[in-house]
Chain A
Amino acid sequence: MEKQGLLIDYEFCTGCHSCEVACKQEHEYPAGKWGIKVNEFTQQISEKRMEITYLPFPTDLCNLCHQRTSHGELPACVKHCQAACMTFGNITDLVASMVKKPKMVLFSPK
């Protein structure tokens, strides 16, 4: 089977935490254990410009929700992302999407 991954359009990630909690629920992780974690980066670029960027990254606990995707469901994080900025799929397809738009990050968890 072709390798799969998660494509994050971090231009639109609002840092809402849905992916984190969806993952914990899916895998019954207690507080303190994360399958995915959202990072925040803030910097003042100029008086008129501020960067506020969020980026979720899947941790070593991410199994790409194999238990869901194997019967056609979306990974828990992808399904619930409020900004709909996460895509699950085959790496080659995701790379093709990446070419079309800036501010994307592709993760290929083991």
Chain B
Amino acid sequence: MKYDKVVTTTAWSPGPGCHGGCGVKLFVRDDKVVRVEGDENHPFSQGRACPRLLALTQYMYHPERITHPLKRVGPRGSGEFVRISWDEALDTIEARLREIKDDYGPESVLFCQGTGRDIGGPISFLAYSYGSPNWIQLGLAGHSCYTPRLGAMMATQGDYAVLDAAQFSPQRYDDPEYRVPEVIVIWAQNPAPGCPDGFFGHWIVDCMKRGSKLIVIDPRWTWFSAKAEMFLQIRPGTDGALALAMINVIISEKLYDEKFVSEWTVGLDELRERAAEYTPRRVAEITWIPEADIIAAARMYAKAKPAAIHWGVPVDKSPEGTTVAQAINHLWCLTGNLDVPGGNVIARPAYGVTTYPFSTQEMHALYGEDFVNRLNEKRIGAKEYAMVRNFRGWAQPDVAVEQMISGEPYPIKACWIQTSNVLGGQAADTRLHHEALKKMDFVVVADLFHNPTTMAVADIVLPVASLAEKESFRSWWAPLQVITPAVQVGECRSDWEINFELAKRFNPELGKRFPTLKDLFDDRLKPTGMSYDELRDAGGWMMPPENSASRPYRRHERGLLRPDGKPGFRTPSGKIEFASQSYAQWGLDPLPYFSEPPESEVRTPELLAKYPLVMVSGRRSSVFFHSEHRNIPWLRECDPDPIVEIHPSVAKANGIEDGAWVTIENDRGAIRRKAKVTPIVHPRIVSVPHGWWLPETEGREPNLFGIWDVNCNVLVPMGTQSKSGYGGGAYKTTLVRVRAAEGRGE
């Protein structure tokens, strides 16, 4: 086959969904992408590609893709939209948002994102240019995705850390300094189909081939647990207790790294005392894991050198998620596995370049400390929740949805929704969000396809470019890389282009500082000493430079982590803090502890009598990214049905046959799923994949592509957030019952 050109770029959605980083080759003929392959010269993915990337052409050229701006002409829910020009769309949006700002203040507009893509950069940029402090993942109960872990890591060790798969080195596994982890703990994730943050899931497979042994912690058997040395089949939501029991074993058996702990940490005595409350015997009862296994896993992890922990989003979704994350973080610090080859290495974006602000420091660098502090006066949840106030810049979703309905302490009048199918995706208590969104005077949705959210509430829909059509850059750990456009589809524009244009209208100063979007990119890339074009022409990606703060190893010894250049960590004490001063300052317990899920056998036994199964939502599929891709033929056929995984004993007791439709219900509602009877789930849980809507069914109200029939978040409550404000969404711990459904759920 002949091509006009081959463009190399970086996958960071839209297209595959995901948190990106893979090197991509786009083959173009007659201004169309006709083939997509992995880039074999790229260090992140080394030529490999996930099925979602390989199906990109079906996504880009889907007959139902939205390729020009739309405005709603019928009533909300009617699905009646007409094509308008970009000028009309942007003029309308500008005028409506100005009116709302004049009448109610800029805080009355929520800037709502989902996950994936480079969205955090452009959407915070737009929100702040407009003047709203309310940058939010609307619907994400407890804001339970990564931020709780990031906050805990920042408080504990002043930096983030990730499993070392040599991803910071251009030579990868061949780097002479690198060592493969002897033991990997996969804590609450199935990394193969998942899209872990800035991490290629199959790196774990690479490590396994090179000798890593696994300990897997999960309520459900995965491919990894089936291959693991030890599998701890845990009761959902009790990860904090398990981590504390492991800490207990490691400290009381003196398995910790005494040299590292005495040199670089403070608070061991307090931690010892706290962990003593969590004996393996007691924790065995809490977690369903045999006492002997808890002890054996703690020993196996602590004795391996090096060892690394790779964790997943259920940590955030545990009750009091920020304290669970803190406890797990303590494990790699106790064992001296921080920032060593094959351990948990400190992760900073290469060259310190920011696109998506992941920390308060990055927020300050982009927008100024005074400005960021001022946002807190009106930021939703900042008053009530110290960690929300003091870490990153998110508005708190559980408080926000209440406020959308109550109008207290100030009214919410509009939502800008970008990269988020709120009602088919992350929103817990879907009905509550449906009601709240319907109350809005004005809703803009920027997306690629119609979905339950556009259908239910959009007044204007903006068509967004896929990764193959956009210019952007990616800085999420390593490498730093450019995203280069290959083609144009319809009138689609990138998230950055859309937001940059509108931001300039609200803040004309920006136009003077950054006449073009490229000028903004060049400004952000300054620490590299290269412009966007230079970086692109130099091959498109760069690993962090040697001997810099963004390149491992042992940076605390070399004075690379603290602003004052002294050895140590960026914490108040300069050490790793087992008892966190920041937590204490924020009015939180400085030490980790365990808290029961909001609905559980211990906390609500009466509810358990009625609803005896724990619904664990969110198991990942290789062919879907959250609520995306149900309309892509090559992908949907690999995972065609909205299923529920049920243990054979539960199926038998409830008269449910494999493949039959079942009802899953609790006091919040009922949904239907197709039973997959399998021994991989614990007999006391059901696994219910999230993000399901049926694009092949009616989109208009009241059906909304079937969300009321199949979306499991209908059953999940809001309002279960942690005391810190981050973490605790009950997506993994909601109690339900199942029964054979009458009729078919088609």
Contacts and interface: CB of A to CB of B under 8 A. Distances in A.
Interface of A: 12, 14-18, 20-22, 24-25, 30-32, 42-44, 48-52, 54, 76, 79-84
Interface stretch (B31-39, B88-96, B101-109, B490-498): B31-39
Contacts of A51: 226
B270 interface: no
A82 B48 contact: yes
B677 to A, nearest CB: 11
Interface string B399-439: 00000000000000000000000000000000000000000
B688 interface: no
Nearest to B208: A12
Interface residues on B, range: 35 or more
A64 B634 CA distance: 20
Contacts of A52: 221-223, 226, 680
A32 B623 CA distance: 15
Nearest to A79: B47
- The dominant DSSP class at the A interface is mixed
Interface string B33-53: 001111010000011111100
B209 interface: yes
Given A12-B205, A18-B49, 12 more contacts: A12-B208, A16-B50, A16-B193, A20-B638, A31-B636, A52-B221, A54-B223, A82-B50, A82-B202, A83-B205, A84-B46, A84-B205
Interface of B: 35-38, 40, 46-51, 54-55, 57, 192-193, 201-202, 205-206, 208-209, 221-223, 225-226, 231, 622-623, 633-638, 678-680
Contacts of A83: 192, 202, 205
A33 to B, nearest CB: 10
A50 B623 CA distance: 24
B55 A50 contact: no
Contacts of B680: 42, 50, 52
Given A14-B192, A20-B638, A79 B51 contact: no
A15 B621 CA distance: 10
A51 B679 CA distance: 10
Nearest to B206: A84
Closest 4 CB pairs of A and B: A31-B633, A14-B192, A21-B51, A52-B226
A98 B49 CA distance: 25
Contacts of B40: 79
A64 B225 CA distance: 33
Contact of A21 (B221, B635, B679): B635
Contact of A80 (B37, B201, B226): B37
Contacts of A49: 226
A80 B193 CA distance: 14
26 contacts: A14-B192, A14-B223, A15-B622, A16-B202, A17-B623, A17-B638, A18-B51, A18-B54, A21-B55, A22-B54, A25-B36, A25-B54, A31-B634, A51-B226, A52-B680, A76-B37, A79-B47, A79-B48, A80-B47, A82-B201, A82-B202, A82-B205, A83-B192, A83-B202, A84-B205, A84-B206
A79 B48 CA distance: 6
Contact of B54 (A15, A21, A44, A84): A21
B51 A20 contact: yes
A42 B635 contact: no
Contacts of B46: 84
Contacts of B192: 14-16, 82-83
A54 B226 CA distance: 12
Contacts of B225: 50
B51 A44 contact: no
A12 B207 CA distance: 11
A16 B221 CA distance: 16
